[in-house]
Amino acid sequence: MTLLRIEGLVVRHGLLTAVREVDLTVASGEVVALVGANGAGKSTLLHAVAGSLPVARGRVLLGGTDVTAVPAHQRVRAGISLVPEGRLLFPGLSVLENLLVGVPARSRRGADEASALPRGGWDVERVLDAFPLLARLRDRPAGLLSGGEQQATAIGRALVADPALLLLDEVSLGLSPAAVDVVYASLEAVLAGGVGVVLVEQDIERALRTATRVVCLLEGRVTRDVAREHADREEITRAYFGTGTEVAS
Amino acid sequence: MTAVLEVGPAPTVQVVRWSRAASATVAGFVVLVAVAAAVPMLFVPLVGNRLTALLALVVLAVTWNALAGYAGLVSVGQQGFFGLGAYAVLALSDLGLNAYLSVPLAGVVCALAALPSSLLLFRLRAGQFAIGTWVLAEVFRLLVSRVPQLGAGTGRSLTSTTDVDPALRQAFTYWTALAMTVLVLVGAFLLLRSRVGIRLQAVRDDENAARSLGVGVTGEKRLVFVLGSGGAGVAGAITLTNSLTAQPDNMFGVQWAALMIFMVVIGGIGTFEGPIIGAVLLFAVQQLFDGFGNWYLVGLGVLAVVATLAAPRGVWGELAHRRGWTAAPLFHDVRWPALPLAPGAAARHDAADTTVREEGRR
Amino acid sequence: MRLLDAVVQGCLLGGQYALFAAGLSLVFGVLKVVNLAHGDLGILAAFAAIGLAAGAGLPLALAVGVVLVGMLAVGAALHAGLLARTTGALPQISMIATFGLSVVIGNTLQEVFSADPRALDLGSFGTAGVTVGGISVGLLPAAVLAVAVAALTGLHLVLTRTAFGRRVRATADDPATAALVGVDARRTYLVVTALAVGLAGLAGIAYAASSLVTPLAGPSRLIFAFEAVVIGGLGSLWGTLVGAVVLGVAQSVGSVVDPSSGVLAGHLVFLAVLATRPAGLLARTRVRA
């Protein structure tokens, strides 16, 4: 079923238009890799979906419900969780407390349609099981973690809200190759869980290995949208660097 | 179109720092000062007395705005330097100095006192700095209250000018105030237009961006704090030569901070022209509602709160924002000749233009 | 003996300052706004309680209860009506707005209640005391200190042990990210402001019960509370208590040395701490990666 539908989305940063007329759908269980150069609008698109950036035009629908006007914190309850670039943990809170902040305040009342969405059934216990690293570090202040540990905490913090749609923004950025492997290994449990995932990843190789679908963004527009099997590496690279972009989806 | 392409070598970017409106302002300012200087010859002494009070307000507003609106130093304790300036005149004239010469010297005294104060206060961040300055003002008040020669807690009069003919005394007082006001206005204008002012505005408008360009401004902030406190001291000195009596609870009273903040917020914080307008508005309010006691202060407080909610740019800031007015050219108009985007358009960046800044912050 | 007595009285006085400081420090820590009307809000509560108890003849406990609930509402209104709405040319504009509010509250109280000093009458409890080893300890000041310790302990437990406390600390760290994990930052701010103003009300009532109050006493309460917070070290509730006691002792001992310089002695201790230990007496050495 269609989990996320984006229609004619326009997002501006002041006078700059970062996302132009983007249409995109994501189904439950799909892993969509958003690729594109720096400044192509990938992160902006994720933040607009998560509700932390205002939308100039267009709509964002989650499970058929228009959430364009819903504030970010309520979208979490509706089923959208974002793991932001740079992790952005709460440094004054311990690892466990960082996870617990992500737990919804009350039972999900008033989100009837949204709660019907397929979710992974995540909670704090399952996160600690899936990320043994976090169980070991549970009482350590988040400000004292290494990059990989921070990333695991950030992913865990997003998961405890039991999202239907998980948005991952540059989860490998600034991590050692070994740490990236650890992070992606732990993501497999998430990806297998049936939730929809949109990931922004600089590492095209890794993105192609993980994703079921690849969407290329160039200057705020979707230039390619293909299933992974049909994704030709060279073609993606071309889209990435903005050469020969006349091909539309 | 083709003409643009045919412009030979690389077009030069022109930075414009002056405008016709600015020339008009300077001319108007000179005329105004000349007329103002003639006031004691033309009108009854009382007017001179009141205008002196207005000039003290202008000095207070302009210097507080330099602190809060440009250097980001919201001080709730400038009454400390105001009172110190007033008492410096008392002390200096006790030492035999001419009371009117003591006025600029009082400013120097306050600036000197502000320098070590800043070493302590600058350890406090934004909001804490405000209360820190307030504590300092209280310390000044309590210390002065302990000096019997200065009248201790009950206060004292300035006696060195009593043998002068009252009308002449008021004229002298007024001229001194006028001279000091002109000095403060011109000084503030030149300072804020200088490198110091530009760096401060850059940090105020976007601290992170400025820092990434290597602009750190502690030295500039300290300079503005020292000079601005000297200015507050001058205003206190003017007020003393005008009212002739000083009493610690009044001279160091927090109501002066309330007046400074009111004038700047209503007139337009972070603009050069706004505080002057705010001073004139406050002066008018004082003339109209004199004798309403505390309700007058309540009214000012309500207006200030409403202004921060409804029109945070203040009177002048709103006008400048909507109409693009600038009288005092603190701006840099960067004119890019023959840009295909918007030929002749000026990317203006000055104190009054807050659009880009606000969008950046949200 | 006189000195020891002064130290004991100073510690008790510290209880009053700690109550004022708790709310101030809470709002500053979470919203990063210094509420310059904090002291005046306490004085407002004091006069409201005096008005209800002495003026309208309500039983004391009821009057205090009504005022405290009222102050929570005032705090919520302060956030919704002022702090959440002030977005101006300057980040400090909301602080400037609270200064305007301070002027409004103080002068309105002065017009309504006149400048005469008043007190909240607690009957015999207000003057009762016990003498321990030649030093008399008033029951009321002791009770105020106990309430302050209880309030700070309660605040500490709420912030460290509850889900609400986690949300508050997360919002204080980074409101935008807190929203991304489902925290309603605006609501958190509102509840925090309400709590802080409620604490200011409690402090104001304790103050009015302990000594005479004038309508314009708010700024001095604000200053003492602020000094307590800075002396103790920002971000530490226990530091606030220590700072408040240090300030109280400095003032009380200062008055013994010279009856008119108690307050000045407190200010000088504050400045001395600022000069030598700007992070406060109890500052934890920051350990951060």
What is the per-residue pLDDT across C204-255, written as a single tens digit (0 to 9) for each? 999 999 999 999 999 999 999 999 999 988 778 889 999 999 999 999 999 9
The complex scores an ipTM of 0.89
B103 or C123: which leads in pLDDT: B103
Non-local CB neighbours of B66 within 8 Å, separated by 6+ positions: B188, B191, B192, B224, B227, B228, B231
Instruction: Pick the residue of C177, C183, C191 with the most A CBs within 10 A to test the interface with A by mutation.
Output: C177
Domain ranges of chain A: 2-241
CA dist B194 and B185 (Å) reads 14
Q: Domains in chain C, please, with CATH? A: 2-276 (1.10.3470)
How many angstroms separate the CA atoms of A187 and A202, rounded? Answer: 17
Q: Please give the DSSP secondary-structure letter assigned to residue A214.
A: E
| Helices and strands (DSSP H and E) totals, chain B | 16, 5
Structure tokens at B310: 């409804």
Q: Is B206 exposed, middle or buried (0-12, 13-18, 19+ CB in 10 A)?
A: middle
Mutate to test the interface with A, among B205, B206, B358, B359 (most CBs of A within 10 A): B359
Q: What is the DSSP letter of B194?
A: S
Percent of chain A that is helix, strand, coil (3-state, to 5)? 35, 25, 35
Cβ–Cβ pairs < 8 A, chains A and C:
76
Which chain B residues are within 8 Å of C34, Cβ to Cβ? 126-128, 130-131
List the structure tokens of C75.
Answer: 């705090």
Beta-carbon contacts of A125 under 8 Å, excluding residues fewer than 6 positions away, are: none
Q: In C, which residues are within 8 Å of A106 by CB distance?
A: none
Give the pLDDT score at B196: 87
pLDDT at B113: 97
- The residue of chain A nearest to residue C187, with distances taken between CA atoms, is A73
Residue of A nearest to B358 (CA): A14
* Backbone phi, psi, residue B16, to 5°: -105, 125
C254 CB neighbours in chain B (<8 A) are none
Cβ <8 Å between A102 and C182: yes
For residues A1-9, give the mean pLDDT: 92
List strand residue ranges (DSSP E) for chain C, in order: 129-132, 135-138
Considering only residues 128 to 157 of chain C, which have any Cβ-Cβ distance to chain A shorter than 8 Å? none
Which amino acid is it at B62? V
CA A14 to chain centre: 24
Shortest distance, CA B199 to any CA of chain A (angstroms): 23
Closest Cβ–Cβ partner in C173, C184, C288 for A90: C173
8 Å CB contact of B301 and C102 = yes
Please check whether the domain covering A2-241 is classified as CATH 3.40.50.10470.
no
Residues 6+ apart with CB under 8 A from B272: B65, B188, B189, B192, B327, B328, B330, B351
**The pLDDT of residue A236:** 77
Chain C residues near residue A84 by CB distance under 8 angstroms: 177, 180
The two counts, helices (H) then strands (E), for chain C are 11, 2
pLDDT digits (tens, 9 = 90+) for A34-72: 988 888 899 999 999 999 999 999 999 999 999 999 999
In this complex, how many residue pairs, one in chain A and one in chain B, have their CB atoms less than 8 Å apart?
5
| C121 interface with A at CB cutoff 8 Å | no
Question: H-type helices in A94-169, by residue range?
Answer: 95-101, 112-115, 124-130, 132-137, 147-159
Is residue C175 within 8 Å of C185, Cβ to Cβ?
Answer: yes
CB proximity list for C147: less than 8 A, separation 6 or greater: C15, C19, C202, C206
Mutate to test the interface with A, among C30, C162, C180, C184 (most CBs of A within 10 A): C180
Share of chain C above pLDDT 70, in %: 96
**Which residues, numbered 320 to 359 in chain B, qualify as contacts with chain A under a Cβ-Cβ cut-off of 8 Å?**
356, 359
Sign, CA torsion C121/C125/C126/C128: positive
Distance from CA of B337 to the nearest CA of C (A): 31
Q: How far is A14 from chain B (nearest CA, A)?
A: 6
Residue of B210 and A216 predicted with greater confidence: A216
pLDDT band, very low/low/confident/very high, at B331 (cuts 50, 70, 90): low
Half-sphere exposure of C215 (CA within 13 A, CB side): 17
| Encoded tokens for B46 | 């009382």
Give residue C195's pLDDT band: very low, low, confident or very high (50, 70, 90). Answer: very high
Query: Which residue in the set B74, B127, B317 is minimally distant from C89, CB to CB?
Result: B317
Q: What is the pLDDT confidence band of residue B41, given thresholds at 50, 70 and 90?
A: low
Rounded to whole angstroms, the Cα distance separating C152 from C174 reads: 24
Residue of C nearest to B117 (CA): C271
Residue type, A193: G
d(CA A108, CA A73): 13
Given a cut of 50, whether residue B359 has pLDDT beyond it is no
Q: Do C173 and A71 touch (CB under 8 A)?
A: no
Q: Do C264 and B312 touch (CB under 8 A)?
A: no
**Chain CA centroid to CA A64, Å:** 19
Interface chains of chain A (3 or more CB pairs under 8 Å): B, C
Alpha carbon C199 to its chain's center: 7
Among A197, A99, A201, CA closest to A145: A99
Find, in chain C, the residue whose alpha carbon is nearest to that of B144. Answer: C264
The confidence score (pLDDT) of residue C283 equals 67
Q: Which residues lie below 8 Å from residue A168, measured CB to CB, with a gap of 6+? A: A83, A155, A187, A197, A198, A199, A200, A201
**Nearest CA-CA distance, residue A129 and chain C, Å:** 20
What's the whole-number mean pLDDT along residues C51-80?
A: 95
Task: Classify strands A196-200 and A165-169 as parallel, antiparallel or unpaired.
Answer: parallel
Question: What is the rounded (10 degree) CA torsion for C218, C223, C224, C226?
Answer: 120
For C275, other C-beta atoms within 10 Å of its C-beta total: 11
> Which is it for the CA torsion C7, C12, C16, C17, positive or negative?
positive
Identify the weakest region by mean pLDDT among B2-16, B126-140, C118-132.
B2-16
Q: Does C166 touch chain A (CB under 8 A)?
A: yes
Q: Return the pLDDT at C237.
A: 84
Is residue A248's pLDDT more than 60? no
Q: Which residues does residue B15 pair with via DSSP β-bridges, in sequence order?
A: B334
SS3 state at C136: strand
Average pLDDT over residues B202-215: 73
Lowest-confidence pick of A2-6, A165-169, B324-328, C91-95:
B324-328
Q: How is chain C split among helix, strand and coil, in percent rounded to 5?
A: 75, 5, 20
Closest chain A residue to C170 measured between Cα atoms? A90
- Position B201 scores a pLDDT of 83
Task: Let me know the angle formed at the C-alpha of A219 by A163 and A173, rounded to the nearest 5 degrees.
Answer: 50
Q: Residue B337 above 60 pLDDT?
A: no
What is the pLDDT confidence band of residue A109, given thresholds at 50, 70 and 90? very low
What 8-state DSSP symbol labels residue C285?
Answer: P
Domains present along chain B, CATH in parentheses = 2-361 (1.10.3470)
Residue of chain A with shortest Cα separation from C176: A52
Backbone angles phi, psi at B216, to 5 degrees: -110, 145
User: How much is the average pLDDT of B344-354?
Assistant: 38
> Least CB-CB distance to C103: which of B124, B269, B297?
B297
**C-alpha dihedral (B343, B203, B181, B37), degrees to nearest 10:** 0
What phi, psi does A107 have (nearest 5°)? -60, 150
Strands C129-132 and C135-138: antiparallel
